């Protein structure tokens, strides 16, 4: 394809996007956006509260470069691929259609009483101890030993950056195929009709399809929508 043909093709693509009333992000240095989502094989972004259609890679959460085909890289880590319906928000959390919410940065997480280290999205069990920069250590069986020797038992779902600072945990409730699905304390649960589950923030999720918040407000679940709930405290 010659240069003139490429220019014509690019102009045609831009015209098509303008007809969809989606503003374009200019080429050059990566544009900072507040979130990105992956739909039907391409990336859509939100900048200053408005949807935009990137024509080049964008920067989200100050750490992730996301290409228009959904491939992304956090800092100098390995390239990963967004899948259909996934969203990276301004806090650097990756939300999937199944309701799971996880950090995109490297981190430690407690699951089923064991500690995993997650690097570039891949989890491996901690063996022995994991030393943190502040001088404390996290053991494989979810115990944190401080510099002063004091021991603290970690809870399922607790999440930490590799520098030892905490990452707020997000639980979720959603309706999938008519069933209420929870992601709580790092695990997935399905609620039966009539069953109620108390959440860490004081709210309750009912298997009959609603969330009763701590202030008494009721939120009815809708198919495919995800209700986010504050997870286990890491303080």
pLDDT digits (tens, 9 = 90+) for 46-75: 999 999 999 999 999 999 999 999 999 999
At residue 186, does pLDDT exceed 90? no
Q: Same domain for 188 and 119?
A: no
User: In three state form, how does the secondary structure of the chain look?
Assistant: CCHHHHHHHHHHHHHHHHHCCCCEECCCCCEEECEEEEECCEEEEEECCEEEEECCCEEECCCEEECCCCEEEECCCCCEECCCCCEECCCCEEECCCCCEEECCCEEEEECCEEEEEECCEEEECCCEEECCCCCEEECCCEEECCCCCEEECCCCCEEECCCCECCCEEEEEEECCEEEEEECCEEEEECCCCEEECCCCCEEECCCEEECCCCCEEECCECCEEEEECCCCC
User: Based on the structure, what is the number of domains in the chain?
Assistant: 3
> Which has more confidence, 139 or 24?
139
In a domain, residue 223? The reply is yes
At residue 22, does pLDDT exceed 60? no
In a domain, residue 99? The reply is no
Q: Same domain for 226 and 175?
A: yes
Q: Same domain for 38 and 63?
A: yes
Q: Same domain for 84 and 17?
A: yes
Q: Same domain for 23 and 84?
A: yes
Interval 135-146: pLDDT, tens: 999 999 999 999
Q: Same domain for 157 and 219?
A: no
Q: Same domain for 38 and 68?
A: yes
In a domain, residue 101? The reply is no
Q: Same domain for 137 and 185?
A: no
Q: Same domain for 190 and 209?
A: yes
How confident is residue 28, by pLDDT bands cut at 50, 70 and 90? low
At residue 23, does pLDDT exceed 70? no
Domain that holds residue 114: 107-161
């Amino acid at each position: 394809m010659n240069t003139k043909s490429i220019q014509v093709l690019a102009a045609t693509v831009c015209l098509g996007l303008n007809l969809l009333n989606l503003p374009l992000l200019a080429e050059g240095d990566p544009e900072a956006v507040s979130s990105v989502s992956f739909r039907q094989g391409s990336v859509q972004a939100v900048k200053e509260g408005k949807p935009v259609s990137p024509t080049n890679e964008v920067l989200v959460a100050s750490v992730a470069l996301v290409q228009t085909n959904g491939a992304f890289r956090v800092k100098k880590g390995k390239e990963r691929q967004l899948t259909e319906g996934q969203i990276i928000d301004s806090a650097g959390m990756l939300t999937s259609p199944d309701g799971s919410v996880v950090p995109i940065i490297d981190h430690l997480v407690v699951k089923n009483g064991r500690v995993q280290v997650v690097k570039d999205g891949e989890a491996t069990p901690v063996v022995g101890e994991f030393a943190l920069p502040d001088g404390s250590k996290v053991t494989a069986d979810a115990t944190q030993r401080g510099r002063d020797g004091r021991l603290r038992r970690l809870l399922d779902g607790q999440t930490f950056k590799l520098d030892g600072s905490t990452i707020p945990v997000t639980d979720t409730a959603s309706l999938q195929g008519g069933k209420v699905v929870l992601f709580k304390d790092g695990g997935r649960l399905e609620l039966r009709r009539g069953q109620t589950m108390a959440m860490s923030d004081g709210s309750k999720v009912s298997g009959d399809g609603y969330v009763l918040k701590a202030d008494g407000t009721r939120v009815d679940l809708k198919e495919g929508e995800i209700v986010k709930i504050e997870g286990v405290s890491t303080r």
